Amino acid sequence: MVRKNLILAFTLLVISPSFLAVAQAAQPSQGQAAGSMTGAGTSGSMAGASMSAAPAATGAPGSSTAGGAPVATFSIRYSEQKVYFLGDSIMIQLDIQNNTPDTVRFQVADNRYFNLDFDVRTTTNLAVAHARDFTMGRNSDQPVLYREVTLMPGENYSTVEDLTKYINFTDAGLYVVQATFYPSLFRGPGSAAMQSNRMTLNLRPPVMGVEERARVEAQTGALIARAPLPPDEVVSYTIMARQKSQWEKFFLYVDLEALLRRNPDRDRAFRRSTEAAQRQMLDQFRQELMQSRIEQDIGVIPTSFEVQKTTYDASQATVEVLERFTYPDYTELKQYTYLLKKQDRYWIIYDYEIKNLGTQ
């Protein structure tokens, strides 16, 4: 008969990929996994093994204490610095650091819900409900297998968890996130616990489509949008975006379909394709441009450039640019002539010509 939340000692010789112990100060001995992970002892009782110098639930946030002396620190940070939208996975990196001269031991369950919990609150201090998977996993009538982890002085134990597996986000907004780690596993109210630092989560409303999502400015979280720039500034913006490999900015003022159809074979295939196939061709063309597999003349990165001449009327514009390409033994000079057309209020690059001017 299986008891609810039965805790079993479980020895593993190979670490699960989702949990990685990183030895920062000492290399693991032969036969052990990185981070000095060892098998649990023979005891499988509810008392089990625990963090050395049993951590108190109180004390400094992010640390466990014994008689006022720090034993280990627990901290969280975003695995990726990016803009998060409602419905995205939100990957959180969790770190346990042994900053003491002593060995630290704790238990790691295969079911992470018995090691971790998250407290997420709105700016008005309202708690966000747990995800259904978390609630069911924490209350499942299954054995809980665990293994004991040993951290030598200076070693760090890290894992990455998806916050949305723990918390049910239903609205965009600003949130405060804090994690709780149970070194002796969660066994009910009063279980020994370590609190992490707090961090802010700005969860934005969902966006429609891959292209709109890709146009998000990473620094500000705002959508990258066209502005009614004059033709010479459009060309300068596009070249500078290419110099910085900021592809979404590079494509912002480029007529991708017109560039694709400059080639007679591609134009013929495009005209004969269905609308869905045309979209697929444009996506593939975009990827090939980014990988410098085609149209290398417009995709190549100049060392420097200088706008020399701009002419335009109400609907068409021509911008001549001197571009320099520096190599170890020489500098190549080329004159690019960009052709632009006006769509609504915006100037868009639809073609270009190149003239080689020799070397320096």
Record the tokens describing residue 354, joined without a space: 């190149």
40 and 184 inside one domain: yes
Domain range for residue 166? 7-204
Lookup result for tokens 């919990």? 117
Q: Are strands 84-85 and 194-204 parallel, antiparallel or unpaired?
A: parallel
In 31-123, DSSP assigns E strands to: 63-66, 69-78, 84-85, 91-97, 104-109, 116-122
Write down the pLDDT at residue 220: 62
Mean pLDDT of all residues in 16-32 = 32
Domain boundary among 204, 220, 244: 204
- Mean pLDDT value across the chain: 78
CB contact burial 66-99 (16+ within 10 A = b; e otherwise)? beeebbbbbbbebbeeebbbeebebebebbbbbe
163-206 pLDDT per residue, tens: 999 999 999 999 999 999 999 999 888 899 999 999 999 998 88
265 and 310 inside one domain: yes
Write down the pLDDT at residue 211: 59
% of the chain exceeding 70 in pLDDT: 74
37 and 150 inside one domain: yes
Residue 282's domain is classified under what CATH number? 3.10.450.50
265-323 pLDDT per residue, tens: 999 999 999 988 998 898 888 888 887 654 556 767 888 999 999 999 999 999 999 99
Record the tokens describing residue 279, joined without a space: 């979209």
105 and 75 inside one domain: yes
Q: How many domains does the chain have?
A: 2
238-274 pLDDT per residue, tens: 999 888 888 888 888 999 999 999 989 999 999 999 9
78-123 pLDDT per residue, tens: 988 778 889 889 999 999 999 888 899 999 999 999 999 999 999 8
Specify the higher pLDDT residue, 27 or 120.
120
Is residue 1 included in any domain, yes or no?
no
248 and 183 inside one domain: no
Domain boundary among 143, 176, 204: 204
195 and 219 inside one domain: no
Asked whether residue 162 carries a pLDDT value surpassing 80, the answer given is yes
